[in-house]
Homo-oligomer: A and B are copies of this chain.
Amino acid sequence: MKIGELSKTSGCSIQTIRYYEKEGLLADPERSEGNFRLYSNKAMKELEFIKHCRSLDIPLANIKRLIELKNKPEESCLSVNILIEQQLTLVNKRMKELKALKKELQQMASTCGSGSTIETCGIIKSLDS
């Protein structure tokens, strides 16, 4: 299939597919006589793998490592596990931060006293302190 079809069935934009190729996450595909990229079902699966990893917010560099590991089936899966644990740690950290953000933003919003002027607005006041 050509890149347009791959794009539609995968849900990745054409530019993104080409970008993944440039970054070495997708193998260079075969080319048609007229230099169009031609993809196999295998390429499609590789793209799905990347998509799934991205949906977990795993950075491209780590996805690259996962793909390399995937191609060494006999090796220990310890590094895979470490990578996922690291991702989990990151997510937990960010969640904590967001919880704090949420709390402060909610407090601020509640002090606005809408309908009044900026001069007396509780939000601006709390941002100022």
Using CB atoms and an 8 Å cutoff, list the residues of chain A in contact with chain B: 45, 49, 52-53, 56-57, 66, 69-70, 72-78, 80-81, 84-85, 87-88, 91-92, 94-95, 98-99, 101-102, 104-106, 108-109, 112-121, 123-124, 127-129
Contacts and interface: CB of A to CB of B under 8 A. Distances in A.
Contact of A118 (B70, B104, B115): B70
Contact of A98 (B52, B76, B95): B95
Nearest to A113: B77
Query: What is the oligomeric copy number?
Result: 2
A119 B56 contact: no
Contacts of A80: 112, 118, 121, 123-124
Contacts of A53: 127
Contacts of A57: 101
Given A115-B76, A118-B73, A66 B105 contact: no
Contact of A56 (B76, B87, B104, B128): B104
B70 A124 contact: yes
A49 B128 CA distance: 6
Contacts of A113: 77
Given A91-B102, A98-B94, A124-B66, A74 B118 contact: yes
